């Protein structure tokens, strides 16, 4: 019997033969698909040029739209904060206990985020800082601005309920109880809804155009190589070897377009900063370099996804034959 001495090297474990063969076949197939796709993409670059240009334009517009959406997010948030604020005007002769009781009741309301008391003198001081109101205050002779409670609702949809809850309170002025305008809430909601649907519609249109152009380009390459594909099929090649390179070509086209679009987006952002701080603040308020780089980093992946999806539609009909 053969004995192994302590410290001697043991023979390395060998994989079963079927696993080694499967690994070799897999590596060979992947190498054939990837390398073949890269060579074919370079050889058929003229055919892929329309898809490359279309994907570049789509991704460039999508990146610019993404930066615009980030900038609009802050503007919409500010509008929503303004729409969620309402002023409750108090009676001229209201007692301090009544005001305190109303404030405590509002503070316990889950629909109210904050309540601030503004005295009549403070309201007059604030009005004098605004153009036009200073002359109005001087012409009135007395203070025309009553004391008020400034309420910030938890959401725009909560404003109407809060206003209804305070309208009949004895501390509130019955002639003009609040500054709430029902049309403002509806207008803000309409702007947000319309803007969201328009953005989704434009994005869907761009995706459809890019997918269609990429599919046509890949289909043209597949038609040009129909004889080669037929011979390869007769030799027993599977669908991965036959049509996998086309999917890689589509992804490669989108990836290159995404890299170019990312560089263009970063260049546009840097140019907007160099033109002037005032113009930059107007065009992209609240958008910093890290946001621009994050959006640019997403473009190559988005391009690869669009390209592979277009290639899938391009070869789907031929794969079925």
**pLDDT by position in tens, the chain (length 321):** 445 444 545 555 566 665 666 666 566 555 555 666 677 777 777 777 888 888 888 888 888 888 777 777 666 666 666 677 888 888 888 888 888 888 888 888 888 888 888 888 887 787 777 655 556 666 666 777 788 888 888 877 788 888 888 888 888 888 888 888 776 666 666 776 777 788 778 778 877 887 787 777 777 777 766 676 667 667 666 665 666 777 788 888 888 888 999 998 888 888 776 765 555 555 566 677 788 888 889 999 988 888 888 877 777 655 545
Termini Cα distance of the chain: 62
- Residue 100 near residue 237 (C-beta atoms within 8 A): no
Tokens 């049309």, residue located: 183
Q: Which two tokens stand for residue 236?
A: 């027993």
C-beta of residue 284 within 8 angstroms of C-beta of residue 83: no
CATH number of 91-172: 3.30.70.3040
> CA-to-CA distance for 156 and 265, rounded, in angstroms?
35
Please write down the long-range contacts of 239-245, taking CB distance under 8 Å and 24 or more positions apart: 239/319, 240/29, 240/33, 241/29, 241/32, 241/33, 242/319, 243/315, 243/318, 243/319, 244/33, 244/37, 245/33, 245/34, 245/36, 245/37, 245/40
CA of 23: how far to CAs of 19, 34, 63, 72, 186, in Å?
6, 16, 41, 52, 63
Burial of residue 178, with CB atoms counted within 10 A of its CB: 0-12 exposed, 13-18 middle, 19 or more buried = buried
Q: Residue ranges per domain, the chain?
A: 29-78+188-319, 91-172
């Amino acid at each position: 019997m053969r004995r192994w001495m302590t410290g001697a090297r043991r023979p390395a474990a060998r994989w079963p033969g079927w696993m080694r063969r499967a690994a070799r076949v897999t590596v060979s197939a992947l190498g054939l698909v990837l390398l073949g796709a890269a060579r074919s993409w370079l050889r058929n670059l003229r055919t892929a040029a329309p898809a490359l240009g279309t994907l570049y334009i789509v991704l460039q517009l999508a990146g610019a739209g993404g930066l615009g959406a980030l900038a609009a997010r802050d503007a919409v948030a500010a509008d929503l904060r303004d729409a969620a604020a309402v002023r409750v005007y108090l009676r001229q002769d209201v007692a301090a206990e009544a005001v305190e009781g109303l404030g405590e009741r509002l503070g316990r309301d889950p629909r109210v985020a904050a309540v601030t008391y503004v005295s009549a003198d403070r309201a007059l001081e604030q009005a004098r800082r605004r153009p036009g109101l200073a002359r109005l205050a001087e012409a009135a002779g007395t203070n025309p601005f009553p004391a008020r409670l400034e309420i910030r609702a938890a959401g725009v949809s909560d404003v109407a309920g809060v206003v209804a809850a305070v309208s009949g309170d004895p501390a509130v002025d019955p002639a003009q109880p609040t500054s709430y305008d029902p049309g403002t809430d509806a207008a803000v909601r309409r702007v947000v809804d319309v803007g969201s649907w328009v953005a989704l519609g434009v994005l869907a249109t761009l995706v459809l155009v890019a997918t269609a152009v990429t599919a046509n380009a890949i289909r043209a390459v597949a038609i040009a190589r129909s004889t080669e594909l037929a011979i390869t099929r007769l030799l027993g090649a599977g669908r991965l070897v036959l049509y996998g390179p086309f999917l890689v070509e589509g992804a490669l086209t989108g990836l290159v377009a995404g890299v170019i679009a990312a560089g263009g987006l970063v260049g546009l952002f840097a140019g907007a900063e160099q033109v002037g701080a005032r113009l930059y603040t107007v065009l992209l308020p609240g958008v910093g370099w890290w946001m621009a780089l994050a959006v640019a980093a997403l473009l190559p992946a988005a391009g690869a996804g669009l390209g592979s999806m277009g290639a899938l539609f391009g070869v789907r009909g031929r794969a079925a034959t």
